[in-house]
Structure 1
Amino acid sequence: MLTLLCRDEADILESMLRFHLAQGVDRIIATDNGSVDGSLEILKRFERRGQLTLLQEPEHTHDQAVWVTRMARMAAAMGADWVINSDADEFWWPEQGSLKSSLTQVPESIKGVLVERTNFLPPVRNIADKTPFYQRQTLRERVSRNSLGKPLPPKLIHRAHAGIEISDGNHGAGVDGTPISAIENAGIEILHVPIRSYAQLERKIRQGTEALQRNKRVSAGIGDSWRKIYANHLSQGTLPAYYDSLRPKPAALAAQLVRGELIDDRRLLKALGNPLPRVAVITPYYKEPLAQLRQCHDSVLAQSEPCLHVLVADGHRRRRINHWRAEHVRLPRSHGDIGSTPRLIGSYHAIGLGVDAVAFLDGDNWYRPDHIASLLAEMDQHQADFVSSSRTLCRLDGTVMGPCPLTDPERFIDTNAMLFGRGSFHLLHQWVLMPPYGHLIGDRIMLHHLKNAGLKRQHLNQVSVFYRCAKAGLYRQMKEPIPEGVQPRPDYETSFRQWESDGQPPL
């Protein structure tokens, strides 16, 4: 297991959590120390997935040894074998295999492993650069030194123990006052990214030092580097110059690379450079024109919140989609259920990859660029299991008619306007369990199950889904002439009657 104490580390936190879970960490125990930058919300998402146990300490005293000791003992109580006590800016990198396989090979007699760490250089100071840290920071020191000019002290991985005591800084541990003995090399190193921007450095020094000053337990020697930078630079107004001094000028960089003092290390870039989006958009398709499918796909790519687009061929695959930036699932035959089976299969494919939410978009419809971001923000803010919006009705040629007058969060929400969070994933199987007549009114049946389950729902009164009207009824509803090529209105009433005759409540 891995323990983590963090405060305001949103720029790196999700990458760090995903990396270590992928490396075989069974569970993360995290303490959030009063974060206000979105870190707490990230931790809560992993908690809802069942991958993280979350503790909160709102008092800003950075009582690291006390809080990490508590987490390490919790890990022992939860059945951990090894415990890694990590900071949010550390990536514990195995030379071979995974962290789990590397630690499994350590002999039973060994109770601790010392792991060396080296720093990546901070990027050039540029407040306009919003690219992820792993894209901006690929130069790493071969040997990193502390404020005294000595190599950074290693960190400790230890076997779980109910009476473990962790020292400040996570550099050592003991039981009943006796330090744990440890070997120096187990094929693991720490890739350390302590400074990722000027704003992050300033926040870290200010928050960390002032928290330590409030802590009556620790001595003045704890956090010595933070305290010196605070006194000598932040308080004196010279922190920008200090930041700039941490990165050599281009000529010096080149010389240090030649001498091997710096290493061009792109391992984090490779490992983190293609993170899985939080949201998957599932598009079942049958025989829609390729141009419509392309418009649908482009609208997913254009989302301000990156999405994984999963297109599911319902028996009629389009080979060109293999070259799109999407997951292409191809079913060998059509199920004849208006996309219900492809929706479920696409959803399970995405959930198996690890997404946090699933939306749906039929192949002849498209999204406004902020659609997913707006629904996801609403889901996060209210910790909702399901979020929905309204839709804009469009003619066959794509021109806009206006907002849909039918949307009612208690009676009708179009499938294309639904966002299912993890708390509602267990209802997705209803796409295929509904009776055959139900697929025609599948969106209403799914809303019925959502309401019946008592899940927390939120609705946004925004018309951010563009719905291409291919049936006559909506044109009449909008008092529009019915264009050529439009299908007759389906017989919804028969489906409603059959639903009620089966003993179900009116939809």
Structure 2
Amino acid sequence: MTQYPKVAMTLMVRDEVDIIAANIEHHFAQGLSPILVTDNGSVDGTREILVKYSDAGLIHLWDDPRHAKQQSEVVTAMARSACTDFGADWVCNVDADEFWFASGQATIVEALALVPESIESFAVRVRNLMGPPVESGSVLRTHEWRDERSREELLAVGLHAHPTDDRVHRARADVEVVQGNHDTNLPTAEPDDVPEEARLEVLHVPYRTWKQYRRRVETTAVAYADSGKTPSPRHHGIRDAHWNDIGELEAFFVARHPAVGDTDEPTGFVRDTRLSTSMAEIETDPRMSDAFATSISEPVRMPNEAALRAQFDKRGPLLAELAETQALLKYREQDFYATLAAKEELEASTTELQATCVRLEGELEVTRHDLQNLTHFVGNLMKNPAVRGLSAAHAALRRFRRR
């Protein structure tokens, strides 16, 4: 009988009310448990849904309302807890808009049972799942086109590459998860070392409703501004924030989606029904909540889709080319990463120096206080007649010895 591993999932989430229940239910169905969740100050109803799951004993919930790009710190803590507090064998560090699958017909838990003991972690390919652009409602049953466009096709709509691979890793008490969840400090196996039947894939749904995506772009821009950290010149969220400011983001949003007709097979996309099938299977469970029903509500197509595609055709490709050129100039002329590393090192040194100054000032204040107490004690002591007499006798003795 096959011994299946215990596979934990970590999730740091903020304002994902439209998808959070579907994410949790999907990964439950894949065998993931425990599920460790940190809410990052959600205000759209996400946390209320998480509380219901927590009260039912289905997830373990923490709160970290800071908006300082501290994902690495928070997810690392959860991943370590999965090992030390829950006895997990493997950990999947998941984003709210990611749906993990085994590459074959097995569940994730069944696939990971086939990984050789020598492997500590391995890469998990991530691909965007697309469909017709939607104004409101859910896309989880209608987005059935996996984005396999070429680099040139992506650049034309303002994207420089497909999403970065994720990592699945053994549960370790000393694991460190990097910002973005895409890597850890554990050694990564070569792709050919992972058996084909053990490999995992992620279907990523970053473009859901237009309103949700615009809010996400705005939130990302504010979070980076507040954190003081410098995003990459190619950070698509920051680039999209600029296009939002000049009134072009909605056209880019529509242009990134395939123009799906009744019989068309859009160029650069591959039909993939795994997510819609998962949602349909979960929907039949009689215990499903209202929150899950919201996650699969009927989508409303963009009423101005044709006009927005025409708007993009006029200006979008030029804006995308200009943005990519500007990014390349920053990389080449300013040595972006070296400059960023030097800046971060200086900030870290300054922070350490400030902490040292605060510590020394505190110690000096304690010393001053002790000295004042000692002076006060000696003053009171010298007022005592017996002490004064003893002091006078001692002085007389010293004078006698000098003679």
TM-score (norm: length of structure 1):
0.50
Partner of 1:330: none
From the superposition, tell whether residues 213 and 71 of structure 1 become closer, same or farther in structure 2 (CA, over 3 Å): same
Judge conservation of contact 2:160–2:234 (CA < 8 Å) in 1: no
Q: Distance in 1 between matches of 2:143 and 2:78?
A: 31
Tell me if 1:245 matches 2:255: yes
Corresponding position: 1:51 with 2:58 = yes
Q: 2:119 maps to what in 1?
A: 110
Say which of 76, 95, 100 aligns to 1:92: 100
State the 1:275 CA deviation: 3.6
Which residue matches 2:143? 137
Cα displacement string for residues 458-498 of structure 1 (whole angstroms, at most 9, x for unaligned residues): xxxxxxxxxxxxxxxxxxxxxxxxxxxxxxxxxxxxxxxxx
Q: C-alpha separation between the residues in 2 aligned to 1:144 and 1:72?
A: 34
- Indicate the residue corresponding to 1:316 in structure 2: none
Distance change (3 Å), C-alpha of 1:355 and 1:271:
closer
- 2: CA distance between counterparts of 1:222 and 1:228? 8
Answering whether residue 221 of structure 2 is matched by residue 209 of structure 1, we say yes
Q: State the one-letter code of the partner of 1:111.
A: E
Whichever residue aligns with residue 240 of structure 1, its letter is: E
What is the CA-CA distance between 1:98 and the residue it aligns to? 1.1
- Cα 1:56–1:263 change in 2 (3 A) is same
Deviation of the 1:221 alpha carbon: 2.3
Q: In the alignment, residue 239 of structure 1 is paired with which amino acid?
A: L
The residue matched to 1:10 in structure 2 has which SS? coil
Equivalent residue, structure 2, for 1:190: 202
More strand by share: 1
Q: CA offset at residue 59 of structure 1?
A: 2.1
Structure 2 gaps, min length 5: 1-7, 295-403
Deviations 1:148-202 (CA, angstroms, capped at 9, x unpaired): 633432100011111111111111101xxxx522343532111111111100110
Aligned 8 A contact 1:31 1:56 in 2: yes
Q: Does 1:226 align with 2:237?
A: yes
- Asked whether the equivalents of residues 123 and 196 of structure 1 are also in contact (C-alpha less than 8 Å), the reply is no
CA–CA separation in structure 2 for the residues paired with 1:13 and 1:107: 32
CA distance in 2 between counterparts of 1:114 and 1:144 reads 21
Residue by residue over 1:63-103, the C-alpha shift from the partner in whole angstroms, topping out at 9 and shown as x without a partner, is 11111111111111121110100101111111232111111
Displacement after TM superposition at 1:110 (Å):
0.2
Structure 1 residues 248 and 228, CA gap change in structure 2 (3 angstroms): same
1:25 paired residue number: 32
Distance 1:223 1:196, change over 3 A: same
Given the superposition, is the C-alpha separation of residues 255 and 97 from structure 1 closer, same or farther in structure 2, using an over 3 Å criterion? closer
Distance 1:98 1:249, change over 3 A: closer
Answer yes or no: is the 8 Å Cα contact 1:34–1:59 preserved in 2: yes
2:182 aligned residue (171, 193, 196): 171
**1:162 has 2:162 as partner:** no
What's the offset of the Cα at 1:43? 1.2
Which aligned pairs between 1:20-419 and structure 2 lie closer than 5 A? 20-77=27-84, 78-94=86-102, 95-127=104-136, 130=137, 132-142=138-148, 149-174=160-185, 179-184=186-191, 185=194, 186-216=198-228, 218-221=229-232, 224-231=235-242, 233-250=243-260, 254=264, 256-257=266-267, 261-276=268-283, 308=286, 354=287
Contact 1:122–1:196 (CA<8 Å) still a contact in 2? no
**Structure 2 Cα separation of the partners of residues 197 and 208 of structure 1:** 17
- 1:162 maps to a residue whose letter is A
SS in 1 for 2:130: coil
> What is the CA-CA distance between 1:62 and the residue it aligns to?
3.1
Q: How many residues align?
A: 272
Kept in 2, the 8 Å contact 1:115–1:157? The answer is yes
Matches of 2:187 and 2:206, distance apart in 1: 27
- CA distance in structure 2 between the aligned counterparts of 1:211 and 1:140, rounded to whole angstroms: 29
| Paired residue secondary structure (1:116) | strand
Deviation at 1:213, TM superposition (A): 1.7
Q: 1:122 to 1:150 in 2, by over 3 A?
A: same
Please give the per-residue CA displacement for 1:432-477, whole angstroms capped at 9, x wherever unaligned: xxxxxxxxxxxxxxxxxxxxxxxxxxxxxxxxxxxxxxxxxxxxxx
2:73 partner amino acid: V
Task: Report the counterpart of residue 379 of structure 1 in structure 2.
Answer: none
Match for 1:87: what amino acid?
D
Contact 1:122 1:246 in 2 (8 A): no
Larger RCO of the pair (alpha carbons < 8 Å, separation 6+): 2
Identity of aligned residues (%): 32
Q: Is the alpha carbon distance of 1:143 and 1:112 closer, same or farther for their aligned partners in structure 2, counting shifts above 3 Å?
A: farther
Instruction: Give the Cα separation in 2 of the matches to 1:143 and 1:46.
Output: 38
CA distance in 2, matches of 1:135, 1:166: 31
Give the Cα separation in 2 of the matches to 1:166 and 1:253: 43
- Aligned counterparts of 1:62 and 1:5: Cα–Cα separation in 2: 11
Aligned Cα RMSD in Å? 2.7
With over 3 angstroms needed to count, the CA separation of the structure-2 counterparts of 1:28 and 1:50, relative to structure 1, is same
Distance 1:223 1:60, change over 3 A: farther
Secondary structure at 1:136's aligned position in 2?
Answer: coil
Cα distance change, pair 230–180 in 1 and its aligned pair in 2 (3 A): same
Amino acid at match of 1:191: L
Deviation at 1:143, TM superposition (A): 5.1
Residues 223 and 64 of structure 1: is their aligned pair in 2 closer, same or farther, counting only changes over 3 Å? Answer: farther
Letter in 1 for 2:25: R
SS at match of 1:55: strand
CA contact (8 A) 1:154 1:171 kept: yes
Q: Which position in structure 2 is the counterpart of 1:16?
A: 23
Q: Any conservation in 1 of the 2:224–2:230 contact (CA below 8 Å)?
A: no
Distance 1:62 1:223, change over 3 A: farther
Once the two structures are superposed, residues 25-61 of structure 1 have per-residue CA deviations (whole angstroms, 9 ceiling, x without a partner) of 1211111111111111111122122221111111222
More helix by share: 2
Kept after mapping to 2: 8 A contact 1:30/1:53: yes
Using a 3 Å threshold, how does the CA distance of structure 1 residues 30 and 237 change in structure 2: closer, same or farther?
same
Equivalent-residue separation in structure 2 for 1:212 and 1:277 (angstroms): 41
Deviates more, 1:59-68 or 1:187-196: 59-68
User: Contact 1:82–1:159 (CA<8 Å) still a contact in 2?
Assistant: yes
